Chain A
Amino acid sequence: GGIITQTPKFLIGQEGQKLTLKCQQNFNHDTMYWYRQDSGKGLRLIYYSITENDLQKGDLSEGYDASREKKSSFSLTVTSAQKNEMAVFLCASSIWDNYAEQFFGPGTRLTVL
């Protein structure tokens, strides 16, 4: 087994600010993901990384950057926070396989004032 840790749990930002969210996993998984969840909706993929130093865009990559610093960590940056934006960002990891089971972290809740 393993766990996924996301920091911070809550993030409050100002309009136009650059904000960084961090994710760590100790599953020793190759692949990591960032998803966004809007209130009452399902998750949508922002970025994923097949292995260290790899980066792949998801459906929602505009307005975000990502960085896979090492196998166990994957960061997401909101390049310019949008006023009144509220969403939860969830990190996940899996072995590398097109249809592998993904495991999720507890999420970071973003509020932009």
Chain B
Amino acid sequence: AQSVTQLDSQVPVFEEAPVELRCNYSSSVSVYLFWYVQYPNQGLQLLLKYLSGSTLVKGINGFEAEFNKSQTSFHLRKPSVHISDTAEYFCAVTLTGTASKLTFGTGTRLQVTL
């Protein structure tokens, strides 16, 4: 079975600074990977996804993530954050080739301050 580890439960950062949110997964077979964002009191919104092809994936709101198969990682990055990026971010994994279930990490709270 697949699993996801988000090593940082909270990441504080100043506005306009770069940020990286870490995600590692475990699976013996090929996977699809996702990052979701949850703003306060809202549902989850898809930020970006890796299915195949280029390992650098660009998403909405200036975020990008890089799939690294050898390190089984899918870290999320943004070169310059804004106050409005304050939210909880979830990494998720599912097995390829089937309509199988998503497994989520426990989330990383990104807190952007002035």
Query: Do A and B actually bind?
Result: no
Residues of B bordering A, CB below 8 Å = none
